Structure 1
């Protein structure tokens, strides 16, 4: 069975969905895949012989650069638009749900690098060692400032 053009690919780019089962992507890319073509999810790039992570694909490195310019030290592979958007929205919703006093307390702690308290089992807002929250903790920004800066970085790469 040959892979049709535009077939849905797995996250690792090694399998395509035939409508009922995952099939391995042929070594030649399955038809008319051109060198440099991105997968549908934008996470993989065809190098002529196999799918490679699209670190320089639209959004990936652009977001990394945008976050770095905001003062966040985050690994390029963690600067995924979908992941950062999801965590940003989740944290922002949680933060906005706090009253002014609770926001002030969280901001005071986070300005001192205690953003990782968000991963504390008692708080449970994010998982332990979340890359974005670790990046927040590496700055002297409050959580509110970090969320605002992340929102600006996301807007920058999505416009």
Structure 2
């Protein structure tokens, strides 16, 4: 399909909540394929429609080749474990920048597939981190907002410097 341009931090569109998908049609399937192609080219393991400037609640994850890509439409977290883990995160919208973020160790989400069928999934470790990270993005919360002000400011300065030098 198509590799689309990625919206770069600090673009305001990354701070806007995405709208729910209401039409489960060929244009949604095309968007999901474009997201997958764009994510692989970035490269990354997760991407949302807002990352390419489309304000819809669509996430594509591809954590390993064996399981292949998975598309989540209108995902919502319905349960979180009390246990927390630290995990190094980054974003296709802020390449070259990453840091440790505290997340719930396990989550349960509800979502629709590309045909509109409802599903529930429980995840742990990396997949749970990715669900939380990408659903935050759908809600308009960029991952660095989970960091202390000091860490966030340091990363933003580093990204600005990297962007000027590239």
TM-score (norm 2): 0.27
Higher relative contact order (CA 8 A, sep 6+): 2
- Name the TM-score, length of structure 1 as normaliser: 0.28
Q: Of the two, which has the highest radius of gyration?
A: 1
Q: Answer 1 or 2: which has greater helix percent.
A: 1
